[in-house]
Amino acid sequence: MVGTSYIITRSFSESLSGLLRHLELIRMLTADELRRMQIGSVVGLYWVLIKPLSLVGLYGVLFGVVFQTRGGPNQTAAEYLIVLLTGLLPWLLFSEAVSAAAGSITANTSLVTKIVFPIEILPVSKVLGSTISGLAGLALLVALLAFLHQVGWTLVLLPLLLVAQLFFTIGLAWLLSAVNVAVRDTSQVLPLALTMWMFVSPVVYTTEMVPKAFATVFLCNPMSYFIEGYRMILLANQPPTALIWVVVTIMAIAVFLAGLWVLCRMRALIADLI
C-alpha cells in the first residue's frame, strides 16, 4: 500500500506517536463528551456532583453508622467519612471512567466501519471526559480538607498520582473496549467486576483495618497502591512511599502500553467483527 498510510495497518509504535498527532481530535471529542453529559440530562452539570455525593452518603451511612466502621478506637463518624471520601472519590474517578469507556468502540460502530478513524481515540476521550467531570468531586474534597486545615505541601503530588492513574485507566479502557467488541458480555460483567474490585481495594476501609493475613490481596491489587497514595497525601500529609511511586509508575506505563498494543493487534479483527 504505497503512497498512503492506513490507520488499520498502523504498527504499535505508529499508533503511539499517532496519539500525539491526534491531540486536537482527542480534545474535541472530550469537549463533545462533556457536552453530551450535560445535554443528555435535565440536571446537567449537577450530576457530576450528585452521583458521588449520593454514593458517599450511602456508604457513609452504611459503613459509618450501621456497621460502625472505624479506623481506630477514637475515630468519630465524621473522621471515618473523610477516610471514606479519600478512598471513594479516587475509586469513582477510576471505575466511572472504565465503565464509560468499555463500550466506547462498540457504541460507535459507524466510526469504525464507515470512516477512516483512529479508534484508540474513542476510549481516551471517554476516560478524559469522565475524569474531568469526576475531578469536581475531588476538588470539593480538597476544599473541605483545606477548610479543616488538613492539607499540606504534599498536595502538589496529587496531580502526579492523578496522571499515573489516568494512564492506568486509559490502558485498561483500551483493553476492555477492544475485548468488548469480541465478547459483548464484557460491558454486562464489568459493573459486577468493578464492585467486587472496589471491595477488595481499601476504599471503604483502610489497609490497617484488615488482618495481616489478607495483606497479599492488597499487594497484588494496583488500585490499593493508588488509594494508599491518595490517603497519604490527603490525610497523613506525607509523600507516598517509594514503593507506591514505583508500583504506580510501572503499572501506569505497563497497562497503558499493553492496552494500546492489544488494541493495535485487534484493530483489523475489530473492523470485521463489529
Partner 1 sequence: MVAIQAKHLTKVYRWYARRADLFKEMLCFNQRTYHKQRLALDDVSFEVGTGESIGVMGQNGAGKSTLLKLLAGLSVPTSGSFEVNGKVAALLELGTGFHPDYSGIENVRINGMLLGLSRREAEQKLPAIVEFAELQDVIHQPLRTYSTGMQARLAFAIATALQPDILLIDEVLAVGDAYFVNKCIHYLQRFIGSGGTVLVVSHNSFLLGRLCHKILWLEGGRFRQFDTAQAVCRAYDLHVRKLESARQEQGGRPAGGQQWGSGEIRIRSVQLLNREEQPEHAYFCGERMLVRIHYEAASLYENPSVYVLVTRQDGVLATSCFSGEEPADVGLFQGTGFVDVVFDPLLLGDGAYWLSAGIFPHKQGPESIYRLDPFDYHERVCEFTMKRPTRPLQTAFDHPVTWVHRSGR
As measured in angstroms, the least distance from the Cβ of 156 to partner 1 is: 32
Among 14, 32, 45, 139, binds partner 1 (CB under 8 A): 32
Look at the alpha carbons of 250, 253, 256, 258 in this order and tell me if their dihedral is positive or negative: negative
CA-CA-CA-CA torsion for 253, 258, 259, 262, nearest 10 degrees? 160
When asked if residue 189 is in the footprint of partner 1 (CB under 8 A), the reply is no
**20 vs 115, beta carbon nearer partner 1:** 115
When asked if residue 66 is in the footprint of partner 1 (CB under 8 A), the reply is no
As measured in angstroms, the least distance from the Cβ of 35 to partner 1 is: 8
Q: How many residues does the chain have?
A: 274
Q: Which long-range contacts (CB under 8 A, 24 or more apart) does 201-207 make?
A: 201/87, 201/91, 201/227, 202/87, 202/227, 202/228, 202/231, 203/84, 203/87, 203/88, 203/91, 203/227, 204/59, 204/63, 204/69, 204/84, 204/87, 204/88, 205/63, 205/69, 206/71, 206/83, 206/87, 206/231
| Of residues 203-242, those binding partner 1 (CB under 8 A) | none
As measured in angstroms, the least distance from the Cβ of 7 to partner 1 is: 7
| Of residues 67-126, those binding partner 1 (CB under 8 A) | 108, 110-117
**50 vs 273, beta carbon nearer partner 1:** 273
Among 50, 146, 183, 219, binds partner 1 (CB under 8 A): 183
**27 vs 72, beta carbon nearer partner 1:** 27
As measured in angstroms, the least distance from the Cβ of 255 to partner 1 is: 21
Which three cell numbers, joined as nine digits, stand for 100?
Answer: 464509560
